[in-house]
Each structure stands twice: as C-alpha cells, then as structure tokens.
Chain A
Amino acid sequence: MPNEKEKKYDRQLRLWGNHGQQALEDSQICLLNATATGTEIMKNLVLPGIGGFTIVDNDVVSMQDVGNNFFLTEDFIGSTKAQAATKLLKELNPDVKGVAAEESLATLLEKDPEYLCKFSIVIACDVEEDTLLSLSNKLWEKNIPLMVCISYGAIGYMRLVFKEMCVVETHPDNYFEDFRLLNPFPELCEYLKTIDIDALDSKGHSHVPYLVLLHKYLEEWKEQNGGEPPKVYKEKKKFAAFLMSKRRKNDKGACLDEENFEEAYKSVNTALVDVAVPRDVKEILEHENCTNLNSDSKPFWVLCQALKRFVDEHQTLPLSGSLPDMFSDSASYIKLQNVYQNKAKQDMICLMDNVSKVYADLGCIYDNGRMSEAEIKRFCRNSRLLKVVRTKSLEVEYRQTAPSDDVTQSFHDNTSDILWYVALRAAQKFRKEQRRFPGIETLEGDLKPLKDCSEKLVGSWGVPQVQLAALDDRLHEICRYGGAELHAIASFLGGVAAQEAIKLLTHQYVPVVDALIYDGIKPSTTAFRV
C-alpha cells in the first residue's frame, strides 16, 4: 500500500522508480540568479521533490521582474530576488528545503572558494563570462555538473557541462529483447527438446509461443543449410516463408490463421540479429576507467569490470531474462519465461560473484553498503543498454581555436539553429565588454559593436570571414531583444533543463550532449556539440 509521499509522487515514480526518487531527494541544487528561466527550472525540480536548494541572487526585485517571473511579486519589491523566489518556490512542496543566500556570488566565493562544491548540480542563469569560467573550472575539478541556461527573446540556450555521466537505465523507446536465438544456452536447448510441436493437437499447436517456433524452426533450417542461420535479408525472407509453411492446414489444404505464426513471421528480421556485445558497451568495457580501477573508482566502473570478466568468460552479456508478451496458453508462456528468468538469475549471481572478486583485488570488502543487490540487478538487466556520455569543459569551449563539426557546419546552413549559439556567444562577449545587454538602449548603436564581437569570435575559430547574412540577421534579432526574457520561452527552457537535471541526478535517461538551442520562432530544438 502506498504511503502519502508515494501517492503524491505516483505519476513520476512510474517513470524513474523509488530509487530514482531517492536520488532526487538526496540532492541539493544551487541556482545562480533568479531569472525567469532560473525560477522556472527550479519550479520543475521542487515539484518532483529534490532534497533542497539555494538561490544566489543579490539583486533587488523591480517592477520589470514582476512582469515575466512567476516567483517574483510586487510584495517583494525591495527585497532580494533570492529571498522572494526562495519563499515562493518552497510553497510548491513542503518536503523541499530552500535557502536564500544572503550575499552576492562574488562575496560567497571570496569567503569560501569551495562554496559551490557542496551541491549536486549548479545551475547558472545569466552569469558573467569570467565568473562563469572560473566557477566552471572548480566544478569540473570536483565532478559536479554545471548547467548554463539563458533565454533571450524568442531564443533559449542550455549548456550541460560534466566530465562523465554513466547511465544504466536508459529506458529506450524501442527495445528488442535478447532471445539468444543464434546462441541458445544449454538450459534453453534442454527445454526446447521437451516440446514436440507436430505432436500437439490443433489448439496446442496454435498456442505455441512464437519464440519457441522461431527456435525450433531455426534449428530445422540450420540442419538443411549447412548449420548456418539466415543472415542476409533474402535468406531471412526465405526463412520467414519456411516458417509460415509449417502452419497446420484445413481440409481444403489452406493454411490456418494461426496467430502465433503471424507473430513469429513479423519478428523474423529483428529477432535474428546477432547482438553479442553492442559496440557502445564494448567501448565502455575497454575504457581505462574500467580496466584501471582504483579504490576511488565509482561503483559503475567496478560493475563494468565485473561485467568485462563475465564477457571474457562467457563471450556474451548476462541475459536480461525479460520477454515480450506473446500469444500463447498460460502454461507454455510461463514455462518459457521461467527458463529465461532462471538463466538471468544464474548470470546475476555470476556477476555478483565477480563484483566481490573485483573489490577483493582492490583490497576492499564488498558489502551491501558499497553497492546494493538491487543496483547490481539493475546493472545486470540493462547491461546491453549501458551508456556513458561526456561533454566538453567550458574552459575548452571558450579557449578552442576550432569548434565542433556541428558548429562549423552551421556556417553552411542558413537555417541552422546553431547560428543562434554563435550569436549568443557574441552577445556574451558584448556584455563582458560593455557591462549590459546589446540593444538595451538602441538597436542601431549596439549592432556594430555586437557584430565586431561576433567577427572576433568567428575569427578565433579560423572560420573565413565570409559575409554571413544568416548570422547577421540573428545578431540583429538579438540586439532587438535588448536582453528581454519572454516568459513562455523561459518556461519552455525551464521544462527542458529541469528534466536534464533530473537525468543527471537519477542517472536515468540519456542527457543532451553538450548543448541545446530552442528557437521559438520556427519553433525547433537542436541539440549539438559545442
């Protein structure tokens, strides 16, 4: 029976589970600047129940702010934005602790250079370039993710900065179960031997699970084809026809409409794929974080080495054991499912054993405190889907003499959203030099200096100074905005960014790498590498 908290969070627990929720509740988030974007991100983190947050924003609430920010009201004019936003955000969820920092970011960091290092994630909205770089380097060193989020008129920009994110539960939309058709394990072979399809009556025949049909007829096919399974498309088509020819016939000699055979036919192309160890997983297992463990290594990498030893021994990943539903009588399906699940259990025990051995080799003792059995189970079940992603550091992004291919190619595409990234970087340079948003007073007056900033930036990348009308148009538009923050755009970005933060906290679902532009004009979103 669910308790009050489980009832409240029911709709989201179905997406990231109790363990994901625990990760959220263990987290502390720091927001730098209570812009409309910033407070919207926080709203979407407070509601699902993060542990706590701190807002750093010493600016005083003005009437202008009240117009586009749900968490800054007239009552708070004269108070700091941090105070106002913290109070109104806390109201959304009594489970969440919120604190308004008393001082400016500069003062806080002066007093304690490690101030930001006690947080799980730092979200920087509208932080000046030099300060941002400096705090980014600190956070990078400490392996704390940084998110940079800003809305400018109709444009939103989000940048994720983290060294490494290891995702076990990616929850892919499209997922094909591991049937082991091409390399059936002994227990499965034994079970299949006990089934004599031809001896079944008509009801039994039409209720054989399609997976059994695939296994049985594949074996027959192999016997007739020199021991080889169908590999190319043409062969698979022949096999599918072969399969269908095994349907029972009626008195007139026409094939019966057996649903299990239909299911088998439809699955031939995807089921007959050799998926021993996917390339992504191979790369992970060969990475030095896995092969060169030390006592500080993250549990994920310890698990990877345990997995690597498993793969070296068995030439395959552990069986996940799950099967899709298939048209069948209950008993046949359950029996088949049990065969797969028992094997999965066996593999799990083997992996757990490896985990102990890996820890032993590191000079540690494995116990439940280091890594729960549930965690190992989840890793085991998802071993085919593991993903490790890494972003570029802000330092490299700002110092590089050549940007990513994504950015370079945008110069050849007038419609590319990534040109907004270039325009925003130019605007940030402008702000550093002029200490204000471009266009805040005059569009025409600021456009030239903004273009100069852009040329310098693009020049530093070695991109030839070709007249780029598309980029100029965007610079003009940025100037036109004069630093305006539209609530709808801030709210869109607030939703996107909050979900990315949740991915980083729960280590579930694959995050954006490295950045995203939201163009509210088209509208469109583009994720890209900086």
Chain B
Amino acid sequence: MCDTEERHDPNQSRWSHLRNILGRRGMFNQEDFIPDESILDCMLNDLKILVIGAGGLGCELLKDLTLSGLLNIHVIDMDTIDLSNLNRQFLFRQSDIGKPKAEVAAAFINQRVPGANVKPHFTKIQEKDDDFYRDFHIVVCGVDSILARRWINGMLLSLLEYDSDGKLDQSSVRILVDGGTEGFKGNVRVITPGMSACLECTLDLYPPQVNYPMCTIAHTPRQPEHCVEYIKMFLWEKEDPFGGLPIDGDNTQHIEWIFNSAQARAREYGIQGVTYRLTQGVIKRIIPAVASTNAVIAAACVNEVFKCATQCYTPMNNYMVFNDVNGVYSYTFAAERNSRCLVCSQQPRTLNFTTDAQLRQLIDHLQQDPTLQMKNPSLTTIIDGKTKTLYMTGIPSLEVATRPNLPKTLKELGLVDGHELICADVTSPTSLRFILHYTDNDMAE
C-alpha cells in the first residue's frame, strides 16, 4: 500500500474488539493513556513494524500483528520452506516446499487479513543497511540464532542519536521485542535501546553451545551422540564419501552414510542407541519444536508490541520465561543494564593482559568469555597515527597475511598500556572498542 491509497478506517466494525480496549479508560491503564480514535488510526495506517524471521515464531507474529490492527509490516527471512516446518509454520503448505518463507508468508497474510500490507525480504539481515532499519518504529525478532539477535540488537543501538548535551533523542529509540522457543520452553523480552538492558547486557544468559570434548569423540566414546560426532569430525574428511562435498544436513544420502558409519563405530564399542533420528538430530543440531509454544511466545511478543504501540498498558519490564512441561509456569523479571556492556554502555571495555601475552590469547578471550562470545573477531589498532591490522578473519588472503601475528606478544606488536583496539565481528553491525591494560605492574591483590 502506498501513501496515495485510502487510509484504513478505525471505525470499521471489524476493529470493534480493539476499540473496546482502546476506547475507554480503566483501572489498569498507564497514567498517560488517553483513549482516542487516533491511536487505532495510527496503528492501522502509520506504524511500521519489522518482523525478523518468517518461521515458527514469524508466522504467528504476522498473524497476531495484523489481527491486532498493525497492518504495515516488513518481514525478513533468508530461508526456504522445508517439509519439517509444516507441523507449526502454518502459513505454508506442501506445495510451498522450497519457496522463500518470507514471500509465501507475506502473500498468505495479505490474502487472509484484509488491508494487511506485509512486504517480504528474502535476504540476510546483514544485507540491509541503516536506512532500511531506520524506517521502522518497532522491531519484533523471532529467530533461532543468537547471532542474528545480537546483530539486530547492535543495529538498533547504533541508530540511537544523542543531542549535544549527551541526552538521548527519544525519537531515535526503536523498541525491540525478542522471542525465543525451544520445545516447551520460551522467553520474551522487551528491549528499549539506550534505556533498558539490551540483549548484550545479559549475554551470559545464553551460555555457549555445549560441544562434546574432542578426546571423548576421538578416543573414548560412550554415548551414541559421540559416535555420530566422530563421523562428522573425523571420518567424513578421511573417507570423503561424496567427492569433496561438505556435510549437508538436509541431504538424506549424507545423513544415511553418517548413520551407517556411526552404527558401525557404536558396534565397535558396544554402544546402543544410534538411530536415524538421533543422527539427524546431532548433525543438524535439531531443536524440538511444536506449534503451541510458538503460539504462546509470539502472542506474548505481540501483546507487548500492542502495549508499546497504544500506550494502553505499561509494557513488560522486561524479561519473561515460560515453560509448560509441568503444568504451566512463567516468571517475569527485570534484566538489569550492564554498565560495562560492550554494545550499549558506550564505554570501551578494558582487556587485561600481560605484556608477554600472545595475540592469540587475546583473541581466545574475546571468543570464550561468556560476556563477550565473539565468533571470529578481527582486530585493528592505530600505531603512530597509522592503522595497523593485527588480525583479519574476513578475507582469506588477509587472514593468511596476519596469521603470523597470533603467536607474537602484545608488546612485540607495538601495543602500549591504554592502547585502543577496534574489533569487528559477525555478532555486531558496528565495530567495538577495547582498551588494553597491561597488568604487569599492577599491585598483587
């Protein structure tokens, strides 16, 4: 829908349910909530919402948003539809398998909900620039990757503007509502960039993925999972069963080969339990999923979006967990802002090392520390007024060229106490600043 088309009329009978909620003041409304036709009018016509993900959560989000009067939506998803999606991603049919999720989802919603204006983007979030994200008032994230979440979090924070007094320009604040699910568990959080805890503030709530120890996989397997991992980590490369191709979890022939090989290894050690389902689960790192949990979490997200859009109730402050394994359990708490947060504190983080520490130790720290969890960081700095690349991971030729720096000590590389290091990583759309502090002369505590 472009600006020249008619505006949706908030007085249409189909919005009567919403008008009841927004039409009169009640005992639970926010102080400054003033019922007015313009609220619904704005929701129907002016507010622009961005939905990240058109899968399990995304389908539900699109339905819930449009049926809550939020008609102007863009949705991004880089995936195509798979058979195993159909048990919950209800905007897709058998005949849609292979097609882009964003496009099929948008088309379905636009057809089903009159006036819905969902625009799809079959692309990676990283391929969109600042101006794209600036266009939205609220962003709702329903992805299955912590990396993607961190990137969006970083992007929205980078769009914040401050006036000359250092005061936050409220109009540059775009609320992020983020939902995640896993089996029968889920969580929802409301992030107000620059004001509330951001995603990175509580990064340690997402512990790093547990991997099986290498020596267990190689020498002392005990569980069926160890047998599958062995094939994945060692045997595939050694036996190269498909002419140089890497493992493709969606290729049934690959899975079958791995399954048979894993069974053979299991027999060797007397291990039971290698099944096709287990094999696929390990290779693809499958997380169980059902329609119901996605419905719950997406609805909770949209409920918060509705509150932000209408100001009728105070939005959740700010993190809810949900679990319906045993009865139904949910708990809401206020995640606190981290004053040293890498992304939202605007303070460069200090890295403490000795002068004789090697660069690779510093890189390891960036990856392993639970509050940093970088994937593949590149580091640059400025020495004598000139930019110096310490280690570059993005471009293979540069990686090779800078690899010799890894075993060098920080002192050798020309870094002094207080030196600023600039770090680039896939987890953030903007670069991050660190200050190096040499601990050699610190008093023992």
Contacts and interface: CB of A to CB of B under 8 A. Distances in A.
Interface of A: 1-2, 4, 7-15, 40, 43-44, 47-49, 62-70, 73-74, 91-94, 153-154, 170-173, 207, 325-331, 333-334, 337-338, 439, 443, 473-474, 476-477, 480-489, 491-492, 494-496, 498-500, 502, 509-513, 516, 520-525, 527
Contacts of B347: none
A492 B303 contact: yes
Q: How large is the interface on B (under 10, 10 to 19, 20 to 34, 35 or more residues)?
A: 35 or more
Given A1-B256, A11-B288, A488-B64, A171 B325 contact: yes
A15 B17 CA distance: 36
Contacts of A66: 14, 114
B330 A525 contact: yes
Given A486-B21, A499-B290, A70 B67 contact: yes
Contacts of B296: 492, 495-496
Interface in B295-339: 295-300, 302-303, 306, 313, 316, 320, 322-330, 332
B402 interface: no
A337 B297 CA distance: 40
13 contacts: A67-B17, A207-B220, A328-B220, A483-B20, A484-B20, A485-B17, A492-B300, A495-B293, A496-B328, A499-B293, A521-B313, A523-B300, A525-B329
Contacts of A334: 222, 269-271
B285 to A, nearest CB: 12
Contacts of A171: 325
Interface in B269-300: 269-271, 276-277, 280-281, 286-300
Contacts of A474: 27
A476 B27 contact: yes
Task: Specify which of B20, B88, B288, B297 lies most central, judged by the most chain A CB atoms within 10 Å of its CB.
Answer: B20
Contact of B295 (A40, A91, A329): A40
Contacts of A496: 292, 296, 324, 328
Contacts of A522: 316, 332
Nearest to B92: A92
A153 B23 CA distance: 12
Interface stretch (B79-87, B201-209, B391-399): B79-87
Interface string B91-123: 001100000000000000000111000000000
B24 interface: yes
Closest 3 pairs between A and B when the two form their complex, measured CB to CB = A67-B14, A495-B295, A495-B296
Given A326-B222, A473-B28, 12 more contacts: A11-B88, A48-B87, A48-B291, A67-B18, A70-B63, A91-B93, A173-B323, A481-B20, A494-B299, A495-B297, A496-B328, A510-B326
A70 B112 contact: yes
A94 B95 CA distance: 12
Contact of A487 (B67, B289, B292, B324): B67
Given A173-B325, A481-B21, A473 B298 contact: no
B90 A92 contact: yes
Given A8-B84, A170-B326, A499-B324, A14 B288 contact: yes
A499 B252 CA distance: 31
A509 B184 contact: yes
Contacts of B299: 488-489, 491-492, 494-495
A395 B56 CA distance: 39
Contacts of B24: 443, 480
A154 B313 contact: yes
Contact of A480 (B26, B90, B184, B295): B26
Contacts of B332: 522-524
Interface string B332-358: 100000000000000000000000000
B237 to A, nearest CB: 22
B303 A64 contact: no
Nearest to B317: A522
A91 B108 CA distance: 13
B26 A477 contact: yes
B142 interface: no
B220 A64 contact: no
Given A11-B87, A488-B299, A523-B332, A502 B292 contact: yes
Nearest to B65: A488
Contacts of A512: 327-328
Contacts of A527: 327-329
A521 B28 CA distance: 8
Given A7-B83, A48-B290, A480-B26, A524 B330 contact: yes
Nearest to A389: B327
Contacts of B90: 43, 47, 92
Contacts of A91: 93
A439 B23 CA distance: 12
B15 interface: yes
Nearest to B216: A327
A338 B18 CA distance: 62
Contacts of A329: 220
A69 B112 CA distance: 10
Nearest to A513: B327
A49 B256 CA distance: 27
A284 B24 CA distance: 52
B229 interface: no
Given A48-B87, A496-B296, A509 B326 contact: yes
A62 B17 CA distance: 13
Nearest to B269: A330
Contacts of A170: 326
Interface string B1-37: 0000000000011111110110010111000000000
Contact of B13 (A67, A70, A482): A67
Contact of A8 (B12, B13, B16, B86): B86
